[in-house]
């Protein structure tokens, strides 16, 4: 075992790294370093997550009573719109690509930086510009259209700050286009010698597939939202029938992007899970090429299923059938991934560290999220469930259970690389368990109340007071979930400031990012790495044999020793 | 709050087959989630680091296994798809003899009009065991007509008709909801559906009629009044004339258009031909008809079409309504104005 990685003397002169080479504000705000930009994203995306979560808390509070608790209808509608807009455009979409992807793609392929460092910085500024627009929309009265901006309500009827909110989403979209371009070029052109496509970590494959969706899909939503603004401000008839437009056209355009956007959220998370399953099972990911190509299959098929959001929208029956069957097929690549991850654990040497807790939690939640998609891709079952809390529960299982579990798992896995520090395993595992339990407690009741017929975006439900019990259960669950989400903010901050030094490779993981120091220096690698082996060259069997010989006292050789911490 | 309801009441003929499919999908979900979760937990415990178990012969890949777990979910998925598609086709194909009721959605109420003139708001009375077809349109934003106990839902859209059918199977009072977000009072846009025994329903229709006797007018009669008011017959005579095509027997006919294509005259086409007549001109005619957009409400359009449906039909269907003709253009004071507003609110 690589004992030397853990025995670095704590009193060493502080190494120069990307974080500490300069502390000036200018060195941060004008940086081209992908790692610093990732940190800028980490801070801003976390801030938006806080805003979105606060809105979610208010929603859960309101729904504990059939007649609401605090808010007026108008305010409630603005709160759930804010929750959706902020979480989708400013948290879920950028979270993994812009933070973990930004930080890791160059490191994983042995490059100094992304292909276009200044474009990368620009993407953060554009993201922030979008964020400022969204904040202006909130501060000047809010938006009440729902994050879907359905027309003609958004274009002609809503009296709220629709244009500002749309500007926010529009800018955020460009930021992800820039990130996508950067990743694609970088992955094509800047891989280290010897790093062939099929030696790439699956995380990189997932980022690649995501980038393809970003640059093909995002322009469509940008144009669509612009058309809403055109109709709203200039009264040019596009979506409102009173002006000669077609309201259903908007839904087609919107979902042409927004369904693939779900894959923008979930694919990077799947990439993280592949890394975690391999490292903490000490095995190569089972069926590497199936997992890699299933990402591409999802990216491609994901563009052909948008109509399953529109089975009751007046779309024709036959059109519905086409979308329904393709939606059924797109579930298969996701199933392939889940089965392959499970098989990866078989005969592994499994370490249940914090990131693995998150990965296992991901599996459970994503299974439920994915399988409940079957109810919604089947036209007959969708009719009753469409626009109810069943759908709300389903997509939270995919987006929160899928994306956030993967994001937090990845953040805990690479945190020692990003900051050079370790965090408390106890608190880490506790937060993973709380998030998992709290999440199920929050959203499982919503499946039931949705099947009972509770429509989404309802402030009051006094016509159906019998639903209250399920709403109350869900709201209690959300308290648990909130605690689970808050814990990392505390112990990771502590870790950043006072955590024990991590060393270059605390998990004893393979992958180029672990061969350089933690945190890495600005130029990532002193020598350009040369790759001579497949990804995930783990050997559970050999490691077990070694452990038994070397450490009969059951001292985990791989575990980070919090030396002097 | 004392009980834990687990499923909505079954009150239409769709509910039974729907719930069977729902249950089967649920079983699939539970079995797969359980199976994979159990495997994950089992592997995590058995192969935990330090456990002395046989780790020899682990694979990195295994094509037969990959094919199994690719093809098996695909087949199961397709079974559910075909099952659901068949049920969906049934749910979308209204029987020919279905009773037609008209629905207009507006912020934030449902306005319902029975063919014999009875109108109601946020309430829908229907007879037990008789297929009912709703023809629906919105006069402002998107709405969605949702009756959970019937397992039916259909978006209600401005500018085009959508339809929905069901056959109530149980007497009782059920939720009528709006499922598509439509603005401030979206969550309060609703009321109830009352399923009544046939005889009760007839009684209800009659009494409802008696209460508003003065305004009681079948949709066809109301449409006839509008037809006269706008002098539609001036151009649309019994036979095709130089000014306009005849409307006799129009519904269901294939109309050749000036641009060369053709269209089957259905509700949506006729509505468009009244409100924006020049968009799709009938072959051989020039754009001489004025547009009635903004002048005729959605409700009046529906009445006008009910009247046009009677043109050229030898024996108009007898209706239950007493043949009283009140002054043209009078409206029921108990019904809020559903006139479209020209400008957004």
- Partnered with residue B165 across adjacent β-strands are B133
Phi/psi zone of residue B50: left (φ > 0), alpha (ψ -120 to 50 degrees), beta?
Answer: left
What phi, psi does A554 have (nearest 5°)? Answer: 55, 35
More confident residue, A441 or A21: A441
**DSSP state at residue B172:** E
What's the CA gap between A539 and A283, in Å, rounded? 6
Please list every residue in chain A whose beta carbon sits closer than 8 Å to the beta carbon of residue B155: 312-314
pLDDT of residue B11: 94
pLDDT of residue A548: 61
Q: Output the CA–CA distances (angstroms, integers) from residue A340 to A200, A278, A291, B69, in the order listed.
A: 17, 11, 7, 9
Tokens of A119: 């474009």
In a domain, A364, yes or no: yes
Cβ contact, residue pair A464, B88, below 8 Å: no
**DSSP state at residue A455:** B
Q: What is the mean pLDDT of residues A47-68?
A: 94
Q: What is the mean pLDDT of residues A180-189?
A: 96
Minimum distance, in Å, between the CA of residue A381 and any CA atom of chain B: 7
> How many structural domains is chain A composed of?
1
pLDDT of residue A559: 44
pLDDT of residue B319: 46
**DSSP state at residue A161:** -
* Domain hosting residue A417, numbered range: 31-503
Minimum distance, in Å, between the CA of residue A225 and any CA atom of chain B: 18
pLDDT at residue B326 above 50?
no
Say if residues B55 and A347 touch (Cβ distance below 8 Å). yes
Within 10 A of B324 (CB to CB), how many other CB atoms are there? 12
Q: What is the mean pLDDT of residues A112-131?
A: 95
- pLDDT, mean over chain A: 90
Minimum distance, in Å, between the CA of residue A100 and any CA atom of chain B: 26
Residue of A293, A366, A374 to mutate when probing chain B, most B C-beta within 10 A: A374
pLDDT of residue A398: 93
End-to-end alpha-carbon separation of chain A, Å? 22
Tokens of A514: 């672990």
What's the CA gap between A554 and A545, in Å, rounded? 13
- pLDDT, mean over chain B: 83
B47–A contact, CB cutoff 8 A: yes
What's the CA gap between A286 and A344, in Å, rounded? 5
More confident residue, A550 or A271: A271
The DSSP annotation for A57-120 comes to: HHHHHHTTSTT-SS--HHHHHHHHHHHHHIIIIIIIHHIIIIIIIHHHHHHHTT-SS-S-HHHH
Q: What is the mean pLDDT of residues A379-391?
A: 94
Say if residues A98 and A91 touch (Cβ distance below 8 Å). no
Please list every residue in chain A whose beta carbon sits closer than 8 Å to the beta carbon of residue B152: 383-384
B78–A contact, CB cutoff 8 A: yes
Residue B146: band (very low, low, confident or very high) from pLDDT cuts 50, 70, 90: very high
Percent of chain B at pLDDT > 90 equals 43
The DSSP annotation for A222-275 comes to: HHHHHHHHHHHHH---SS-GGGT--HHHHHHHHHHHHHHHHHHHHHHHHHHHHH
What's the CA gap between A134 and A166, in Å, rounded? 8
Cβ contact, residue pair A360, B344, below 8 Å: no
In a domain, A517, yes or no: no
pLDDT of residue B278: 82
pLDDT of residue A211: 95
In a domain, A479, yes or no: yes
More confident residue, A560 or A363: A363
B177–A contact, CB cutoff 8 A: yes
Q: What is the mean pLDDT of residues A397-406?
A: 92
B295–A contact, CB cutoff 8 A: no
Among the partner residues A348, A383, A463, nearest to B153 by beta-carbon distance: A383
Name the closest residue on chain B to residue A383, using Cα atoms: B153
In a domain, A485, yes or no: yes
Please list every residue in chain B whose beta carbon sits closer than 8 Å to the beta carbon of residue A540: 47, 55, 58
Angle at A168 between CA A166 and CA A170, to 5 degrees: 65
pLDDT digits (tens, 9 = 90+) for A30-57: 999 999 999 999 999 999 999 999 999 9
Please list every residue in chain A whose beta carbon sits closer than 8 Å to the beta carbon of residue B57: 347
In a domain, A184, yes or no: yes
In a domain, A484, yes or no: yes
Residue A432: band (very low, low, confident or very high) from pLDDT cuts 50, 70, 90: very high
Among the partner residues B62, B159, B188, nearest to A460 by beta-carbon distance: B188
Please list every residue in chain B whose beta carbon sits closer than 8 Å to the beta carbon of residue A231: none
Among the partner residues A331, A346, A388, nearest to B73 by beta-carbon distance: A331
Residue A117: band (very low, low, confident or very high) from pLDDT cuts 50, 70, 90: very high
Percent of chain A at pLDDT > 70 equals 94
Q: Which of residues 203-222 of B touch A (CB under 8 A)?
A: none
**DSSP state at residue A175:** H
Residue A2: band (very low, low, confident or very high) from pLDDT cuts 50, 70, 90: very low
Cβ contact, residue pair A345, B40, below 8 Å: yes
In a domain, A338, yes or no: yes
What's the CA gap between A8 and B332, in Å, rounded? 88
More confident residue, B174 or A536: B174
pLDDT of residue B314: 59
pLDDT digits (tens, 9 = 90+) for B226-258: 888 888 887 887 777 778 888 888 888 888 888
B315–A contact, CB cutoff 8 A: no
Give whichever of A428-442, B276-290, B326-340 has the largest mean pLDDT: A428-442
A290–B contact, CB cutoff 8 A: yes
What's the CA gap between B73 and B77, in Å, rounded? 6
Percent of chain A at pLDDT > 90 equals 78
Q: Is B6 exposed, middle or buried (0-12, 13-18, 19+ CB in 10 A)?
A: exposed
pLDDT of residue A64: 94
Assign 3-class secondary structure to B224-246: HHHHHHCCHHHCCCCCCCCCCCC
Residue B322: band (very low, low, confident or very high) from pLDDT cuts 50, 70, 90: very low
B304–A contact, CB cutoff 8 A: no
pLDDT of residue B234: 79
Residue A60: band (very low, low, confident or very high) from pLDDT cuts 50, 70, 90: very high
pLDDT of residue A552: 46
pLDDT at residue A522 above 60?
yes
pLDDT of residue B71: 92
pLDDT digits (tens, 9 = 90+) for B199-235: 999 888 888 765 554 556 788 888 888 888 888 887 8
Q: Which of residues 313-342 of A touch B (CB under 8 A)?
A: 313-314, 317, 320-321, 324-325, 328-329, 331-332, 335-336, 338-340, 342
pLDDT of residue B2: 47
Residue of A301, A384, A551 to mutate when probing chain B, most B C-beta within 10 A: A384
Residue A114: band (very low, low, confident or very high) from pLDDT cuts 50, 70, 90: very high
Among A306-315, A356-365, B288-297, the minimum mean pLDDT is found in B288-297
Residue A373's CATH number: 1.20.210.10
Nearest to B61 by CA among A288, A199, A542, A283: A288
pLDDT digits (tens, 9 = 90+) for B276-321: 888 888 888 888 888 887 788 888 888 888 888 888 775 544 444 4
In a domain, A379, yes or no: yes
């Amino acid at each position: 075992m690589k004992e030397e990685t853990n025995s670095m003397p704590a009193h060493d002169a502080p190494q120069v790294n990307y974080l500490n080479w300069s502390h000036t504000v200018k060195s941060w705000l004008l940086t081209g370093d992908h790692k610093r930009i990732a940190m800028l994203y980490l801070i801003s995306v976390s801030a938006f997550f806080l805003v979105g979560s606060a809105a979610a808390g208010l929603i859960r509070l309101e729904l504990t009573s059939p007649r609401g608790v605090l808010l007026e209808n108008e305010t409630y509608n603005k709160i759930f719109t804010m929750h959706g807009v902020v979480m989708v455009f400013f948290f879920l979409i950028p979270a993994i690509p812009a933070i973990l992807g930004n930080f890791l793609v160059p490191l994983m392929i042995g490059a100094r930086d992304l292909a276009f460092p200044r474009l990368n910085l620009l993407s953060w500024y554009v993201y922030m510009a979008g964020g400022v627009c969204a904040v202006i929309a909130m501060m000047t009265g809010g938006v009440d259209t729902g994050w879907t901006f359905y027309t003609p309500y958004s274009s002609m009827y809503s009296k709220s700050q629709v244009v500002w909110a749309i500007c926010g989403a529009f800018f955020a979209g460009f930021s992800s286009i820039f990130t996508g371009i950067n990743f694609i070029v970088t992955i094509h052109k800047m891989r280290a010698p010897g790093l062939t496509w099929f030696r790439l970590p699956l995380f990189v494959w997932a980022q690649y597939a995501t980038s393809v969706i970003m640059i093909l899909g995002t322009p469509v939503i940008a144009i669509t939202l612009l058309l809403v603004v055109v109709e709203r401000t200039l009264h040019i008839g596009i979506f409102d029938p009173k002006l000669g437009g077609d309201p259903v056209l908007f839904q087609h355009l919107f979902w042409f992007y927004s369904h693939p956007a779900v894959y923008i959220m979930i694919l990077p998370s799947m990439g993280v899970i592949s890394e975690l399953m391999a490292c903490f099972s000490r095995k190569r990911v089972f069926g590497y090429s199936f997992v890699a190509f299933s990402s591409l299959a999802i990216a491609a098929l994901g563009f052909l299923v948008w109509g399953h959001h529109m089975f009751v929208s007046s779309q024709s029956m036959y059109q519905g059938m086409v979308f329904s069957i393709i939606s059924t097929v797109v579930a298969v690549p996701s199933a392939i991934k889940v089965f392959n991850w499970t098989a990866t654990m078989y005969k592994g040497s499994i370490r249940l560290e914090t990131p693995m807790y998150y990965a296992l939690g991901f599996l459970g939640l994503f299974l439920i999220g994915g399988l409940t998609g079957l109810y919604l891709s089947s036209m007959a079952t969708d009719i009753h469930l469409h626009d109810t809390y069943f759908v709300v529960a389903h997509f939270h299982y995919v987006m929160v259970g899928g994306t956030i579990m993967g994001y937090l798992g990845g953040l805990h896995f690479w945190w020692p690389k990003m900051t050079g520090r370790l965090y408390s395993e106890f608190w880490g595992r506790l937060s993973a368990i709380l998030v998992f339990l709290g999440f199920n407690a929050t959203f499982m009741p919503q499946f039931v109340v949705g099947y009972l017929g509770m429509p989404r975006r309802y402030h009051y439900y006094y016509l159906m007071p019998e639903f209250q019990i399920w709403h109350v259960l869900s709201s209690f669950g959300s308290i648990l979930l909130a605690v689970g989400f808050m814990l990392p903010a505390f112990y990771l901050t502590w870790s950043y400031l006072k955590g024990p030094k991590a060393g270059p490779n605390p998990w004893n993981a393979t992958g180029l990012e672990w061969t350089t120091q933690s945190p890495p220096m600005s130029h990532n690698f002193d020598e350009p790495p040369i790759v001579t082996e497949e990804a995930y060259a783990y050997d559970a069997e050999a490691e077990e044999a070694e452990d038994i010989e070397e450490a009969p006292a059951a001292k985990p050789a791989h575990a980070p020793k919090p030396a002097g911490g | 709050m004392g009980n834990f309801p687990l499923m909505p009441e079954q009150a239409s003929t769709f509910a039974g087959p729907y719930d069977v499919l729902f249950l089967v999908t649920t079983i699939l979900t539970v079995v797969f989630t359980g199976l994979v979760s159990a495997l994950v937990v089992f592997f995590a415990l058995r192969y935990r680091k330090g456990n002395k178990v046989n780790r020899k012969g682990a694979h990195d890949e295994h094509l037969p296994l990959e094919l199994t777990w690719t093809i098996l979910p695909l087949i199961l998925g397709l079974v559910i798809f075909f099952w659901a598609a068949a049920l969906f086709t049934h749910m979308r194909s209204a029987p020919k003899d279905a009773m037609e009721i008209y629905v207009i959605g507006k912020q934030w109420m449902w306005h319902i009009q029975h063919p014999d003139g009875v109108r109601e708001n946020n309430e829908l009375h229907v007879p037990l065991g008789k297929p009912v077809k709703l023809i629906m349109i919105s006069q402002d934003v998107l709405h969605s007509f949702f009756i959970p106990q019937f397992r039916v839902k259909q978006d209600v859209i401005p500018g085009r008709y959508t339809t929905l059918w069901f056959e109530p199977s149980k007497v009782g009072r059920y939720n009528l909801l709006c499922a598509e977000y439509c603005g401030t009072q979206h969550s309060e846009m609703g009321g109830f559906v009352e399923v009544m025994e046939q005889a009760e329903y007839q009684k209800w229709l009659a009494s409802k009629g008696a209460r508003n006797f003065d305004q009681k007018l079948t949709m066809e009669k109301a449409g006839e009044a509008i037809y006269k008011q706008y002098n539609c017959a001036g151009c649309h005579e019994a036979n095709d004339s130089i000014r306009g095509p005849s409307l006799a027997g129009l519904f269901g006919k294939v109309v050749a258009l000036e641009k060369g294509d053709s269209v089957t005259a259905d509700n949506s086409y006729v509505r468009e031909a009244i409100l924006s007549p020049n968009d799709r001109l009938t072959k051989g005619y020039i754009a001489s008809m004025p547009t009635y957009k903004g002048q005729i409400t959605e409700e009046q359009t529906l009445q006008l079409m009910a009247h046009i449906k009677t043109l050229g039909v030898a024996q108009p269907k007898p209706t239950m309504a007493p043949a009283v003709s009140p002054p043209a253009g009078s409206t029921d004071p108990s019904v809020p104005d559903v006139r479209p507003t020209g400008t957004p609110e």
